[in-house]
């Protein structure tokens, strides 16, 4: 009944509304992200681009003023790819269905579509207007890690008020330049129900003495967090991100997040009484894109820790990465190397960055996709063409120490992931194979997995 009321209200609001671009780019398409990053590298896109959902409005403005006659071949491919995605987003209505199967739902979750169920069906319908946009997504999952069968994840109702977008939503977020391991906020966990505000067009408007900030973005989230699978208890979660592009090719951002479940356990040394308090998390991320010897290249980093004083995080985790782009007028290849370290020296688990282990949504970390007390590295590449063919490859290494509530023994994993996509029956078919060597304590085993999906849009 609630869903029917939502659809009816959305349709009523949308009557006679002229169509414009859909409000944002979701955090599920690494190929489109690669083209956007290529255009940012070349100074064509000047908006902050490292937080998803990523608003279309500023990007559309940059594409409109771009001088395509000055673009090299790989930049022209990226321009055509992003422009095609923008044209699709301008449709007043759209809908689709996606069938998926995963033989092993425990795979690592990087930027892209979430694949944390054995099999499922995802369907959606969306309407886009001048001031109001909405999407209703109904999903069925079998043997999902969050133990939910029917969900409305990826649904939203967004309203444009001046230069601000306000949305009620249940969508995934990805903050920062990382490709596989965003530390503060990622799509590793199922999306929470909440509200979000964000600037629609990030062009700088303000006094001239602050113009050094460049284009800037401010995003705030308030949501309801359910950290445990075996409990219906929920609490408040909030997050705030400020990002700017003070120089061509440079994006810097500061982020903060808080939760009712980010707790410390303090024991009075005299009375031995315990006292539980909450703390905040802060992260800083930066990405610099440039050209070296005519080769596009970018360097990025994120550090995250508790916010105990000032802006800098204390005892931070960190992710470091470098990426580069190769291509022609018909294809683009993005390659990257990324290293993350979430190791800490904690007298007890409540003293660690994520506190008592409850920075989770339905028992999945809201941030890092690797366990606490771990080191990981990944060498990855994405390739795609204008006619829909594409593929990816990832070589991933993870080493984790035993930690309460996560691992009973030390764990080491070496994993190879290979994926391919093409058009089949007017839809997009994807298949991914994985093979990994897992060592847990004194035991070692080799595991394989297959993931496939077919999506049709109409």
pTM for the model: 0.90
Q: What is the CATH number of the domain that holds 12?
A: 2.40.160.130
Token couple for 28: 């599920």
What's the confidence (pLDDT) of residue 357?
61
How many domains does the chain fold into?
A: 1
Residue 268 CB neighbours (<10 A): 9
DSSP 66: -
Residue 361 CA to residue 354 CA, distance in Å, equals 13
Pick from 252, 260, 257: nearest CA to 240: 257
Q: Which domain holds residue 17?
A: 2-457
pLDDT of residue 13: 35
* ∠ Cα 423 424 426 (to 5°): 80
The two tokens of residue 328 are 């022609």
Can you state the angle between helices 56-65 and 73-89, rounded to 10 degrees? 130
CB-based contact 258:280 (threshold 8 Å):
yes
Beta bridge partners of 95: 125
Three-state secondary-structure class, residue 324 = strand
Q: 33: closest CA among 292, 332, 397, 376?
A: 332
Q: Is the peptide bond before 157 cis (omega within 30 degrees of 0)?
A: no
CA–CA separation, 448 vs 401, rounded Å? 23
Of the candidates 92, 94, 151, the residue with the CA atom closest to the CA atom of residue 121: 151
For residue 295, what are the CA distances in angstroms to 298, 327, 339, 354? 10, 11, 22, 39
Distance of CA 19 to the CA centre of its chain: 27
Report the distance separating Cα 454 and Cα 111, nearest Å: 19
Q: List 225's β-bridge partners, or say none.
A: 235
Structure tokens belonging to residue 100: 């998926």
Residues 6 or more apart whose Cβ sits within 8 Å of residue 337 = 321, 322, 323, 377, 378, 379, 380
* CA dist 46 → 62, 91, 137, 251, 327 (Å): 7, 25, 32, 9, 21
For residue 307, the model assigns a pLDDT of 82
Q: What is the model's pLDDT at position 168?
A: 97
Q: What residues contact 303, with CB distance under 8 A and at least 6 apart?
A: 283, 284, 285, 313, 316, 317, 318
Q: How far is CA 108 from CA 72, 113, 396, 398, in A?
A: 35, 12, 9, 10
Residues 99, 454: contact at Cβ < 8 Å?
A: yes
Structure token digits, residue 23:
């409000």
pLDDT tens string for the chain (458 positions)? 444 443 333 333 333 333 344 689 999 999 999 999 999 999 999 999 999 999 999 999 999 999 888 888 889 999 999 999 999 888 889 999 999 999 887 667 899 998 888 889 999 999 998 899 999 999 999 888 888 889 999 999 999 999 999 999 999 999 999 999 999 999 999 999 999 999 999 998 888 888 999 999 999 999 999 998 888 888 999 999 999 999 999 999 999 999 988 877 666 666 656 666 778 899 999 999 999 998 999 999 999 988 877 777 877 889 999 999 998 888 999 999 999 998 877 766 656 767 656 789 998 899 999 888 899 999 999 999 988 899 999 999 999 876 544 555 688 999 999 999 999 999 999 999 999 998 887 788 999 999 999 999 88
């Amino acid at each position: 009944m609630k869903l029917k009321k939502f659809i009816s209200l959305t349709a009523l609001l949308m009557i006679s509304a002229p169509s414009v671009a859909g409000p944002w780019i979701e955090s599920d398409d690494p190929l489109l992200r690669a083209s956007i990053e290529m255009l940012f590298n070349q100074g064509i896109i000047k908006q902050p681009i490292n937080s998803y959902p990523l608003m279309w409005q500023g990007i559309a403005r940059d594409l409109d003023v771009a001088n395509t006659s000055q673009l090299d071949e790989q930049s022209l491919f990226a321009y055509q790819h992003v422009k095609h995605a923008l044209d699709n987003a301008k449709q007043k209505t759209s809908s689709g269905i996606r069938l998926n199967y995963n033989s092993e739902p425990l795979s690592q979750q990087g930027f892209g579509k979430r694949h944390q169920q054995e099999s499922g069906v995802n369907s959606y319908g969306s309407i886009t207007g001048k001031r109001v946009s909405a999407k209703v997504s109904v999903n069925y999952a079998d043997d999902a890690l969050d133990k939910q069968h029917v969900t409305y994840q990826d649904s939203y109702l967004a309203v444009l008020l001046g230069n601000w977008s306000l949305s009620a939503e249940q969508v995934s977020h990805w903050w920062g330049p990382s490709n596989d391991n965003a530390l503060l906020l990622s799509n590793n966990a199922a999306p929470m129900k909440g509200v979000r505000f964000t600037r629609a067009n990030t062009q700088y408007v303000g006094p001239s003495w602050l113009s050094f900030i460049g284009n800037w973005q401010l995003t705030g989230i308030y949501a309801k967090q359910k950290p445990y699978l075996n409990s219906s208890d929920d609490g408040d979660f909030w997050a705030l991100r400020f990002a700017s592009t003070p120089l061509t090719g440079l994006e810097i951002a500061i982020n903060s997040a808080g939760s009712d479940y980010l707790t410390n356990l303090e024991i009075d040394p005299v009375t031995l009484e315990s006292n539980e308090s909450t703390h905040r998390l802060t992260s800083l991320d930066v990405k610099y894109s440039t050209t070296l010897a005519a080769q596009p290249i970018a360097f990025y980093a994120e550090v995250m820790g508790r916010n105990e004083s000032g802006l800098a995080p204390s005892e931070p985790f960190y992710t470091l990465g470098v990426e580069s782009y190769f291509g022609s007028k018909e294809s683009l290849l993005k390659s990257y190397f990324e290293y993350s370290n979430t190791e800490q020296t904690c007298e007890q688990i409540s003293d660690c960055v994520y506190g008592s282990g409850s920075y989770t949504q339905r028992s999945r970390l809201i941030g890092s996709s690797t366990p606490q007390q771990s080191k990981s590295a990944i060498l990855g590449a994405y390739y795609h063409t204008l006619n829909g063919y594409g593929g990816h490859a990832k070589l991933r290494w993870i080493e984790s120490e035993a930690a309460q509530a996560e691992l009973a023994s030390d764990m080491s994993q070496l994993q190879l992931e290979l994926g391919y996509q093409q058009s089949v029956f007017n839809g997009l078919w994807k298949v991914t194979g994985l093979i990994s060597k897992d060592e847990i304590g004194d035991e070692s085993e080799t595991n394989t997995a297959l993931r496939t999906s077919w999506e049709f849009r109409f």
